[in-house]
Amino acid sequence: MGLWNNMSFQNSASFTMEQMTFFYDFSFLVILLILVFVVYMMLFLMSESLIKCYDLDNQIMEFFWTILPLVILIFLAFPSIRILYLMDEMKNPTLTCKVLGHQWFWSYEYSDFSSFEFDSYMICNLMRLLEVDNCFVIPLGLKIRLLVSSVDVLHSWTVPAFGVKVDSVPGRLNQLNFTVNRLGVYFGQCSEICGVNHSFMPIMVEVVLNQGFSVWLENFS
């Protein structure tokens, strides 16, 4: 979860979030290099005597300042498209769950198991309004597919550590895929204004080992 002095992303807990963090660092480096180059050129021109101020045409310069932005955009586009396709579809998911947004709580249904569903309400605690009575439990390292919808108004299921955010739309199923690679408890919140208690419908996900997940299923059901 995020800390008070955290000025960057939360620690990644999924392969998707790791790739997004790498892409952010790469794109930030490119933008920083462009900024340094532009500032250098501005300072250089300010101190230059402008001996070529009457030049009206330079084909070589125009070629480079057309090709160079194109090359930069290509270097940014390919990693971005790769991450987009990684998030879009997953073949043969191991576990499928349905998430329903309500005013103002979440419902979880494990579609691979018969009649296994529960509601998740926020409880009063010292965890910045992030803890719930029944957390969403998933196994470590398995392909997870979530089917997200709503029964009343727009919501948004978001867990920053997983790098996932999907809208919960009434009458529509949105699909979300991810694989968690770290054990622990991760928090999120509804990220779409959904009414007066929008701030009080947190998301709490516990990632456990496969054996622990089987024990939890037996005990909970």
- Please give the backbone phi and psi of residue 93, each rounded to the nearest 5 degrees, phi first: -65, 145
What is d(CA 132, CA 183) in angstroms, rounded to the nearest whole number? 18
Q: Say whether pLDDT at 178 is over 80.
A: yes
* 192 touches 203 (CB < 8 A): no
Which CATH code of 2.60.40.420, 2.40.110.10, 3.10.620.30, 3.90.79.10 fits the domain covering 95-220?
A: 2.60.40.420
Mean pLDDT, range 145-155, rounded to an integer: 89
Distance separating alpha carbons of residues 94 and 142, to the nearest angstrom: 6
Domain coordinates in residue numbering, the chain:
15-88, 95-220
Say whether 85 sits in a helix, a strand or coil: helix
CATH 1.10.260.40 describes domain 15-88: no
> Tens digit of pLDDT for each residue in 125-136?
766 778 888 889
Residue 137 has pLDDT above 70, yes or no: yes
Instruction: Let me know if the fold of 15-88 is the same as that of 95-220.
Output: no
> What are the pLDDT digits (tens) for 34-61?
999 989 888 887 777 666 666 677 788 8
Token pair of 213, please?
């997940």
Q: Which two tokens stand for residue 173?
A: 């199923």
pLDDT for 179: 87
